[in-house]
Amino acid sequence: MSRAERYDAPELPPESVLSLSEYLDMQRAIGDETRYRVLAELLREGETSASYLAESLDVPSNRLHYHLDRLVEVGLVANRKRRERGADGLYSYYVATALGKGIMTHGVGELIAEERELLQRYG
C-alpha cells in the first residue's frame, strides 16, 4: 500500500469525553447480530418496550435483556422509566442514544473525527 493510500485513524482529542476503549466497546457491542438488530429496531421505531422488542425480533425475553443491558452499559441505548397514568409502578422503555445512532450511521472512526472537529470548533 502506498503512502497516499494509507489510512490514518483519527486520534482522540486530548479533552475527549470518551476513551478509545469506550469507543471500541461500542463497536464490539454492535458486532453481535442480536444487539445490532435491537439497535436497528430502536432507531426504526423510537422508544420501545422490551416486550415489544422481544416479540418483533423473535428473541426470548431473558436473552433480549442480556443484550439490552450490554447496549445500555456501553451507552448506545438508554433505559428510561416513567409513571404511566392509571398504572401501578413504572413503565420501562428503551431508546437509542445519539451515540447509538452515530455508530450505526458512521462507525467509530468517523465518530472520533466528528468529536475532534466539534471540540476544535466549539471547545
The dihedral sign for the CA sequence 53, 58, 63, 67 = negative
The domain 18-122 is classified under which CATH number: 1.10.10.10, 3.40.50.1000, 3.10.310.30, 3.40.630.30?
Answer: 1.10.10.10
Which pLDDT does position 83 carry in this prediction?
Answer: 77
Cβ-contact 116, 13 below 8 angstroms: yes
- Eight-state DSSP code of residue 3: G
Q: Which tens digits make up the pLDDT trace of 7-54?
A: 777 788 888 888 989 988 998 999 999 999 999 999 999 999 999 999
